[in-house]
């Protein structure tokens, strides 16, 4: 055991001795290698892109976001995570920088774990706690991407450091930060609600008189930070209040699932392909040390005559157990990442357990076992990242890495505007649209829904297709508008993104029709009827002449069988991505018809309508009947 901490009046924050500093640098080096190494080998999906868009908009415009990203409950998150992530985006629009920022925060949090354990229970405790924290597979994986939950472990470490520095060592800044983080944690992610009862428990246990006004002031500042969300919910976002009522009306579930997930995170169940899916003896050792440490800290918090030691023991105990206890009863879904805030405390407790073992040789054996376990976990993670970098599968849900989509976005930028073709055109809802909206932030680009539409600018340009499975590729081939490409950007298990250069000039292969002028400066130019797989496809060619067509247009297709005035047997409405149309664009839109009744003849009534009003655009060539459809046919299925 190390010497007892000094009383708060005699306990300045001192420089670490050279040996302790060397051990701390070893711990931080390992943590940084696993969290900052293999840059770009990390998830970059819809959640990461959505949060990045909020942060980029804040950094670029200065307009404070009042609502955060969607949550697993029908209540969106507070915007705290977007505020934090705006910091790296002030320096660079590249999401790789923001990803490294998250890794840096988590690396600093590991340093905080080392400091707390070493300060309370000596260098062996700091070494054990620091190594377990540095090499923890779940913590490493939750430190390598732009996700609100990935900020919670660093936030909880800062909360604990502020509590100990303020109440154990008399630092004036401690209580203010402690109170602020208690009220701000849930504004980053709702799992941060845990910090409120945890803070109240610590205040009730130790009743600090000197720091209490500062705690209240900090909590008040956090309340001010929550005002934009609250005002937005009350004045302008009725769906938020409806979501609150819906959640409050749910029956509560009471079980021990939170403790099962808590134990799984401490064991390191979540890892990569270089290590077995079952953490084996290493995980059992870590969990055993954490549980033993928490038991011993419980005794310390009650029996130790030193008030500072009691405070530190109670702090780690409350910090480690508050998340699973808080989620014992709940009316919302429960996910393992809700327990991330407990990980630093659990590893600190494990370090305390190593330091408290009786006998020098037993402590040395436990330290050696911890070093071996951490090395095994680190080697497993490194092997997993190597596999991911090579595109090989790992037993962990992993979306297309940032490095691949970033490479494709970089290749398409040559000074000309870019058309992004994705399965969906709304960055607010569609993953690929959101991902490349972030990667092309500040660069001229437009996104179209490649499941039913294609946009050909008058001057040609560059096109990025996010998936090789999109039917837009078939339409590109049929229209003959490629000047070069595709160049593939993919690796291994992940489908490639395709980069294409478009030639100037009109598409080929269309049967001319009209032109038929519609309101809004849009003309129908022609069609193509052909078999695609098991379906028959009608492809339409439109030209945009007006500068401001209606923002959301859909194209309807009513297929009639037999006589041209016969009954409608199939209806197909498709998206056109009209909100990004510009004057001079040629737009290709298609609809597929499966299960046709016979060989024909068939006729198709088509046209455009505004959504959600469902009002058709008027035909300007038929003033007597402007709502008449464009009738095409006859077509045959042979």
In sequence order, the β-bridge partners of residue 559 are 570, 604
What is the mean predicted confidence (pLDDT) over 43-52? 95
User: Rounded to an integer, what distance in angstroms lies between the CA atom of residue 349 and that of residue 4?
Assistant: 17
User: Rounded to an integer, what distance in angstroms lies between the CA atom of residue 560 and that of residue 602?
Assistant: 6
What is the mean predicted confidence (pLDDT) over 305-317? 90
Read off the pLDDT of residues 351-372 as tens digits, 9 standing for 90 and up: 999 999 998 899 999 999 999 9
Which pLDDT value is given to residue 3?
Answer: 37
In the block, tokens 């009003």 appear at 613
Which pLDDT value is given to residue 495?
Answer: 86
Q: What is the pTM of this model?
A: 0.92
Which pLDDT value is given to residue 550?
Answer: 73
* Residue % of the chain over a pLDDT of 70: 95
Q: Among 529, 549, 505, which Cα is nearest to 596's?
A: 529
3-state helix/strand/coil string of 124-186? HHHHHHHHHHHHCHHHHHCCCCCCHHHHHHHHHHHHHHHHHHHHHCCCCHHHHHHHHHHHHHH
- Coil, helix or strand at residue 123: helix
Which pLDDT value is given to residue 10?
Answer: 38
Read off the pLDDT of residues 106-133 as tens digits, 9 standing for 90 and up: 999 999 999 999 999 999 999 999 999 9
What is the mean predicted confidence (pLDDT) over 384-412? 85
Q: CB-based contacts of 463: which residues, under 8 Å, 6+ apart?
A: 412, 418, 419, 420, 421, 476, 499, 500, 501, 502
Region of poorest pLDDT, from 8-17, 376-385, 577-586, 588-597 = 8-17
Contact predicate 492/392, CB 8 Å:
yes
Contact predicate 383/472, CB 8 Å:
no
User: Rounded to an integer, what distance in angstroms lies between the CA atom of residue 524 and that of residue 511?
Assistant: 11
Q: Give domain 511-635's CATH architecture.
A: Distorted Sandwich (2.70)
What sections of 37-122 are H helices per DSSP? 46-61, 80-91, 95-121
Read off the pLDDT of residues 221-257 as tens digits, 9 standing for 90 and up: 999 999 999 999 999 999 999 999 998 899 999 999 9
Contact predicate 533/567, CB 8 Å:
no
Which pLDDT value is given to residue 270?
Answer: 64
User: Rounded to an integer, what distance in angstroms lies between the CA atom of residue 306 and that of residue 587?
Assistant: 76
User: Rounded to an integer, what distance in angstroms lies between the CA atom of residue 463 and that of residue 501?
Assistant: 6
What is the mean predicted confidence (pLDDT) over 631-638? 94
Read off the pLDDT of residues 178-217 as tens digits, 9 standing for 90 and up: 999 999 999 999 999 999 999 999 999 888 778 899 999 9
What is the mean predicted confidence (pLDDT) over 72-87? 95
Token pair recorded at residue 370: 């911890």
Read off the pLDDT of residues 495-545 as tens digits, 9 standing for 90 and up: 899 999 998 888 999 999 999 999 999 999 999 999 999 999 999 999 999
Which pLDDT value is given to residue 127?
Answer: 97
Question: What is the pLDDT confidence band of residue 396, given thresholds at 50, 70 and 90?
Answer: low
Which pLDDT value is given to residue 11?
Answer: 42
Which pLDDT value is given to residue 8?
Answer: 37
The domain locations on the chain are 20-389, 408-502, 511-635
Handedness of CA 352, 353, 359, 364 (dihedral sign): negative
* Residue % of the chain over a pLDDT of 90: 78
Read off the pLDDT of residues 576-593 as tens digits, 9 standing for 90 and up: 999 999 999 999 999 999
Q: Which residue has the higher pLDDT, 267 or 209?
A: 267
pLDDT for residue 399 is more than 50? yes
- Coil, helix or strand at residue 202: helix
Average per-residue pLDDT for the chain: 91
């Amino acid at each position: 055991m190390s010497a007892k901490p000094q009383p708060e009046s005699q306990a300045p924050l001192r420089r670490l001795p050279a040996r302790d500093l060397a051990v701390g640098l070893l711990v931080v080096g390992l943590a940084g290698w696993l969290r900052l190494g293999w840059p770009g080998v990390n998830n970059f999906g819809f959640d990461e892109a959505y949060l990045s868009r909020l942060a980029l908009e804040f950094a670029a415009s200065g307009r404070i976001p009042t609502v955060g990203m969607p949550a697993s409950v029908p209540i969106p998150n507070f915007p705290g995570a977007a505020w934090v992530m705006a910091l790296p985006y002030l320096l660079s629009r590249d999401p790789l920088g923001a990803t490294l920022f998250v890794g840096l925060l988590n690396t600093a949090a590991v340093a905080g774990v080392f400091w707390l354990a070493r300060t309370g229970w000596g260098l062996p405790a700091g070494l054990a706690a620091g190594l377990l924290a540095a090499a923890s597979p779940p913590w490493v994986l939750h430190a390598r991407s732009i996700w609100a939950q990935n900020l919670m472990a660093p936030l909880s470490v800062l909360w604990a450091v502020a509590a100990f520095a303020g109440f154990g060592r008399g630092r004036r800044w401690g209580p203010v930060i402690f109170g602020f983080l208690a009220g701000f944690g849930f504004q980053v992610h709702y799992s941060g609600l845990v910090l409120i009862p945890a803070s109240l428990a610590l205040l009730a246990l130790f009743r600090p008189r000197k720091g209490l006004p500062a705690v209240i002031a900090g909590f008040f500042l956090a309340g001010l930070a929550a005002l934009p969300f609250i005002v937005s919910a009350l004045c302008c976002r009725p769906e938020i209040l409806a979501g609150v009522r819906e959640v409050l009306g749910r029956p509560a579930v009471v079980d021990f699932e939170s403790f099962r997930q808590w134990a799984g995170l401490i064991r390191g169940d979540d890892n990569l392909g270089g290590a077995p899916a079952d953490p084996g003896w290493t995980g059992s050792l870590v969990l055993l040390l954490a549980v033993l440490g928490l038991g011993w800290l419980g005794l310390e918090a009650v029996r130790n005559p030193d008030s500072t030691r009691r405070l530190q023991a109670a702090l780690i105990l409350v910090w480690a157990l508050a998340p699973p206890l808080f989620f014992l009863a709940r009316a919302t879904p429960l996910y393992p990442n809700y327990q991330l805030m407990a990980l630093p405390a659990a590893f600190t407790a494990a370090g305390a357990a190593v330091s408290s073992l009786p006998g020098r040789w037993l402590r040395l054996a436990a330290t050696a076992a911890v070093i071996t376990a951490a090395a095994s976990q680190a080697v497993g993670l490194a092997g997993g990242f190597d596999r991911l970098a090579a595109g090989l599968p790992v037993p962990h849900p992993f979306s297309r890495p940032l490095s691949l989509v970033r490479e494709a976005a970089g290749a398409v930028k040559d000074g000309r505007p870019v058309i992004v073709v994705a399965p969906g055109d709304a960055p607010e809802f569609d993953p690929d649209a959101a991902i490349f909206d972030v990667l092309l932030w500040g660069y001229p680009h437009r996104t179209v829904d490649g499941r039913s539409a294609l946009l050909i600018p008058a001057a040609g340009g560059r096109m990025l297709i996010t998936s090789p499975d999109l039917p837009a590729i078939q339409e590109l081939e049929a229209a003959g508008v490629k000047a070069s490409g595709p160049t593939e950007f993919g690796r291994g298990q992940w489908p490639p993104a395709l980069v294409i250069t478009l030639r100037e000039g009109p598409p080929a292969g269309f049967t001319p029709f009209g032109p038929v002028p519609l309101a809004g400066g849009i003309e129908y130019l022609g069609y193509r009827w052909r078999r695609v797989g098991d379906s028959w496809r009608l492809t339409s060619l439109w030209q945009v002449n007006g500068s401001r067509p209606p923002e959301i247009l859909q194209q309807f297709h009513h297929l009639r069988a037999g006589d041209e005035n016969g009954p409608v047997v199939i209806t197909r409405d498709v998206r056109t991505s009209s909100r990004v149309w510009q004057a001079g664009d040629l737009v290709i839109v298609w609809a597929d018809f499966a299960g046709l009744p016979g060989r024909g003849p068939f006729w198709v009534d088509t046209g455009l309508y505004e959504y959600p009003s469902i009002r058709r655009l008027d035909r300007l060539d038929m003033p007597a009947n402007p709502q008449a459809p464009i009738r095409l046919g006859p077509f045959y299925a042979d």
